[in-house]
Structure 1
Amino acid sequence: MLRNLSTSQKVAIAVAVPVSVALLYLLFKSRDEEFEYSNRPEKNLVIKHQTSLEIKVPREKVGAVIGREGCVINKIREATGARLKFMDHDKNEDGPRLLVITGKPSSALEAEQMVHKIVSSPVPLSVEFMVPVQAVGRILGKGGANVRSIIRASGAKIRIPREEESLEKDFRLCTIRGTPEEIATAKAMIEEEIALEEEKKQRLANASANRKQRNPDKAASSSAPLTVAQLEQVRFPAHGDFFTIYVSAVEHPNHFWMQIISTKASELDLMVEEMTEFYNQARNQESHTADSLCTGDIVASPFEHDTSWYRAKIVGFLEEGKVDLYFVDYGDYGAVPKENLCKLRADFLSLPFQAIECSLAGIESLDEKWPEEAIDVFDNLTYCAQWQPLMARMMGYERSGPKTLPCVDLVDTSSEEDVNVAAELVKRGYGRDTTVSSARKPTADTKMKPQSTLDS
């Protein structure tokens, strides 16, 4: 076949063959050099046109680049397809560590930018400040829901220690960790929650200061009132401990009602304001009309001696369409026309009933019944419905007809010398002392110091 070719053709073939062989050799050699298999565990990837970049990462930023259990550096690998590896030969030195990025040019550059972004971000800071104990519950929220919301919104990490870990009684240490911007956002959100709690506290204080003097009827209803055991009430203090109370209603010294001064009592003032505002609106009265009423129902009712609305329990039905009511937070009774009553909104039932039915300890009437004059003196000594605090102490229980009532000692500490109410009634000749010990009687040279109020 070659014999049929011309001389020029033979020369061309002679030149082309070795050149072709040389080109094929170079091509396969180049491909061998360009192909590299990655050591990623999930699969082997072939990377073409490989390039290599080196970055010196400050030692304090190495952890941020790697991330917890390698989560950050693995995300960079997955996002870019590049390989990233810290060189180990300088790991014990104090200077920066060398990070080698290998991959296609575009992948390596993208990975480099991501690393530079991490390296250039500010070092996380930590800020500590004190927050009031009363505001901790609002900051954390139910089950920690609120603080988690603050963390998500700000990006910062927040820690408030548990009560048993805190050395402060009135404050807790709050630690916020993050960038300056994250810390500023989180702190502003926490301070907003503290301000809201302070606002609520102020509203409760104002409501308590603005309490109206109620003028209850001294004559009790013929219907039996609810006993302590029948009502969902505030927690009664431990036997023998002094606590602060208001006397809210009186039938006679061995049958009266009191409220324990606590955060719950302050919440009652606020609730009465909210109830009054709500039920004074005609449209709300229409939507909460009490169509059918039964004995034992808890309803919203106006009180004949003021313009406010209160929670009341139906104890009976009277003539002329009136309903006999027991006001569960004060101990008063009243007869109110049926059409004036409203269904109680569900959220107004969340607060425990505040009136506690009691008997004055260590005294009994000289006669079968307490005279009106003695009741008037007891009214004055206890500042009934005037919201003047007294000190009280649980002394035990006594049987009163079908009921068992808690017996309390009452002491007025508002003057220079403490006045024991029972002892004063006996001193004025209105009652008989039933105590054996003289320990309960006041001393002229010792003034009782009011203790802190309850939070229940």
Structure 2
Amino acid sequence: MDSGQGSSEIEPETLFGPANFPASNQEQYIFYDFEIPQMLVGRLIGRKGAFINKIKAATDATVIVHPHKNRKLKLCSVEGTKQQIELTAGVVVEVRVSAVVSGGELWVQQPLHPSYSALHRLQTCMNLNYGDGSNTPPLPGPISDGTVCVAHINDHWMRCQVLSSINAMSVVLLLDIGGTVTVPSSSLRQIRYDYMTLPFQASQCFLHGVQPVTGDMWSDTATSVMEELVSGVILFAVVVSYTEDYVPLINLYRRDKDQFVLLNEKLVELDHAQWISPQHSS
């Protein structure tokens, strides 16, 4: 079976491995710092420290909240191995939205996560390896749903997962930026083993406590407004609960000067969403 490299020898500049991704060492002790709004500190710590102690007990990582020069912020430090920190990353994190599916569904990346900095290197390696695609054969058929592979999209090779294939076209999920696209099945290529060592960088999430104004479908206007609200800024995501499929339901905050705006609430204020129930947490 072809490995997706196009020849029996792997060219050094296309190789992606531990040397290019130091954070892959699970025992490497690292520090992960992020700012947190003062209003959220109580939720992070919990009553008499219950929640933060639960995090420490479950992960064995150290979590410390420090003063910040801005009185409306605190600095949260998480210390431990990469594996320990991954278990706490979903509590309160700085994120950037990489794809807006609708007014209430987003895909986010964590720019401060230890693995994120290696994504650019991975992209470069894949672009060099696959080139224009002519040096590697298509993904063998029939293509099974769930297959992880690479696709050539917007002049870049991207890691993706096949959701469905019919009539020579495939719907794929973009694993590092989120969202789905439809591509010719012939444009898909096998993914090389070393290109699977980096964790997938995009996480799906839904806004907590809000729903479309009418029906079950978000309006195009709500989606456009959400795109404007999240474009080009670092945001704060707080996981509140999960769906039955374990997709995070989040409160999403945007920092505007010295104010922190809850985007869930902002969407309601702009009449592009409504609260699921009168009782909601901000």
TM-score normalised to structure 2 length? 0.64
Residues 1:342 and 2:189 aligned together: yes
How many residues get paired?
A: 206
Instruction: Structure 1 unaligned segments of length 5 or more: list them.
Output: 1-136, 145-161, 164-168, 171-233, 441-456
| Distance 1:302-1:427 versus aligned 2 partners, 3 A rule | same
Comparing both chains, which one has the higher relative contact order based on Cα–Cα distances under 8 Å and sequence gaps of 6 or more? 2
**Native 8 Å contact 2:103 2:219 kept in 1:** no
Residues 1:351 and 2:198 aligned together: yes
Q: What amino acid is the match of 1:361?
A: H
SS in 1 for 2:243: strand
Q: Quote the Cα distance in structure 2 between the aligned partners of 1:353 and 1:294.
A: 20
Residues 1:265 and 2:116 aligned together: yes
| Distance 1:302-1:236 versus aligned 2 partners, 3 A rule | farther
Q: Quote the Cα distance in structure 2 between the aligned partners of 1:270 and 1:377.
A: 33
Q: Quote the Cα distance in structure 2 between the aligned partners of 1:249 and 1:355.
A: 9
CA positional deviation for 1:404: 4.0
Residue 256 of structure 1 corresponds to 106
Q: What amino acid is the match of 1:367?
A: T
Which structure carries more helix by proportion? 1
CA positional deviation for 1:142: 7.6
| Distance 1:142-1:357 versus aligned 2 partners, 3 A rule | closer
**Rg larger in structure:** 1
Map of 1:33-52 to 2, 5 A cutoff? none
| Distance 1:301-1:416 versus aligned 2 partners, 3 A rule | same
**Native 8 Å contact 2:172 2:180 kept in 1:** yes
Q: What amino acid is the match of 1:376?
A: S
- Aligned mate of 2:275, from 423, 427, 433: 433
| Distance 1:373-1:291 versus aligned 2 partners, 3 A rule | same
CA positional deviation for 1:253: 3.1
Map of 1:161-180 to 2, 5 A cutoff? none
CA positional deviation for 1:315: 1.2
**Native 8 Å contact 1:247 1:258 kept in 2:** yes
Map of 1:60-79 to 2, 5 A cutoff? none
Residue 44 of structure 2 corresponds to none
Instruction: Structure 2 unaligned segments of length 5 or more: list them.
Output: 1-20, 33-84
CA positional deviation for 1:437: 6.1
**Native 8 Å contact 2:103 2:225 kept in 1:** no
CA positional deviation for 1:436: 5.9
Q: Quote the Cα distance in structure 2 between the aligned partners of 1:289 and 1:307.
A: 17
**Native 8 Å contact 2:93 2:237 kept in 1:** yes
- Aligned mate of 1:311, from 128, 147, 159: 159
RMSD: 3.2
**Native 8 Å contact 2:101 2:179 kept in 1:** no
TM-score normalised to structure 1 length? 0.41
- Aligned mate of 1:410, from 231, 239, 252: 252
Q: Quote the Cα distance in structure 1 between the aligned partners of 2:99 and 2:166.
A: 22
| Distance 1:236-1:380 versus aligned 2 partners, 3 A rule | farther
Q: What amino acid is the match of 2:227?
A: D
Map of 1:344-423 to 2, 5 A cutoff? 344-368=191-215, 369-383=217-231, 386=232, 388-399=233-244, 403-423=245-265
1:108-150 alpha-carbon deviations (Å, 9 max, x no partner):
xxxxxxxxxxxxxxxxxxxxxxxxxxxxx97xx9899xxxxxx
Residue 327 of structure 1 corresponds to 174
CA positional deviation for 1:348: 0.2
SS in 1 for 2:259: coil
Q: What amino acid is the match of 1:264?
A: S
